[in-house]
Amino acid sequence: MTKLYGVIGDPIKHSLSALMQNRALQEAKMDAVYLPFHVPPQELKAFVEAARRWPCHGFNITLPHKRTIQPYLDELSEEAHIMGAVNTVTNREGYLFGTNTDATGYIRSLQEECPFQVAKSTATVLGAGGAAHAVIFGLLNTGVEKIFLFNRTPEKSQQLKMHFAGHFPQRIEAHDWDQERLGQALAQSQLLVNATSVGLNGTEFSNLPLDKLPAAALVSDLVYRPRQTPLLRDAAERGLNIHEGLGMLVHQGAESFRIWTGQEPDRAVMRQALEEALALEEKID
C-alpha cells in the first residue's frame, strides 16, 4: 500500500517540504507520497488523533504547532524535550513519537558548507523564537563556548536563556538590543546567526554593526526567501564568509526522511528541487 507522509502548518501553502520530500521519495523509488495539510490551531488535536489511525507513517510540523503539539504525542526524543519543540512525528502503529531535526539540520549544513568549527567558538544569535531555539540547541550541543543573544523583545531572550540554563549552564548571555552592546558582542564572535524573520522577502535590519565582526567571521542567515538576503549581501560585500538558510531546510527534511524510512535520501536531489523552486519564485517576483 502507498505510504503517506505529510506536513502540517497554518499557513501551509508556502511550504517547500512536499516538493523536496516527494522528489526524494521518487529518487528512492518508494511507493509513498508526502502531502501538505492546512491545520489551524483549533484543529490540531483532531488532526493528530486522526493521523494516529490513518496509514500515515509520519509528518512534519511547522509554524505555529511545533510547541503546542507536544501534549498530543505519546513520547518525545530527548532533543525535542530539551528544545521544547517538535518538527517530526513518526507513527509507529498508532504510537506517536516526536522528535526535532532542526538543530541537527542546521549544524550539518553549517559543517558541510562552511569552513567553521563550532566547538569552543563564540557566537552572536539574533532572535528568540522557534528557529533561534533550534539553532541555539544545535550550537550548545556541538560545544559552542558562548552565545550572545539579542532579541527585539528582551523578555523572550531572557526566557530562552532560562530555558537552556539547566542543561547548558552559563553559556548564554542575553542582552537588550543596544547598538553598543551588539557591537561589543560581534567583536568577540566568530559567528553571527540571524534567527529572526528579518530578511524575509527583502526586509532589512537597520544599523547592524557588521564592521565590528572579525574579518574571518561567518554570517549565517536562516532566512532563505530570498536565498541571498540583504544581510548576506552586505556581509559578502565586506568580505565576510556567508552561510545561506537553504541548507538547514534540506538537512532537517533529509533527517526526517531517514527517521521515517530508515534510508538515506539523496540530499543533492532535495537541494536541487528547492533551488529550482526558489529560483522560479524569485523570477516571478
List residues binding ligand ATR (CB under 6 A): 63, 127-132, 151-153, 156, 196-198
CB proximity list for 263: less than 8 A, separation 6 or greater: 28, 257
Task: Please tell me the distance from the alpha carbon of residue 199 to that of residue 222, in angstroms, as a whole number.
Answer: 9
Provide the minimum distance between the beta carbon of 26 and ligand ATR in the complex, in angstroms, as a whole number: 29
Provide the minimum distance between the beta carbon of 106 and ligand ATR in the complex, in angstroms, as a whole number: 12
Residue type, 238: R
Place of cell 530539551: 82
> Of 159 and 263, which CB lies nearer to ligand ATR in the complex structure?
159
CB proximity list for 238: less than 8 A, separation 6 or greater: 210, 211
Pick from 198, 203, 244: nearest CA to 220: 244
Provide the minimum distance between the beta carbon of 100 and ligand ATR in the complex, in angstroms, as a whole number: 12
Residue type, 92: R
> Of 28 and 200, which CB lies nearer to ligand ATR in the complex structure?
200
User: Among residues 3, 45, 66, 120, which one is catalytic?
Assistant: 66
Active site includes 66?
Answer: yes
> Of 132 and 217, which CB lies nearer to ligand ATR in the complex structure?
132
Provide the minimum distance between the beta carbon of 133 and ligand ATR in the complex, in angstroms, as a whole number: 8
User: What three-state secondary structure class fits 200?
Assistant: helix
ω before 11 within 30° of 0 (cis)? yes
Q: How far is CA 33 from CA 14, 18, 54, 143, in A?
A: 18, 9, 14, 37
> Of 170 and 206, which CB lies nearer to ligand ATR in the complex structure?
206
The catalytic site residues sit at 66
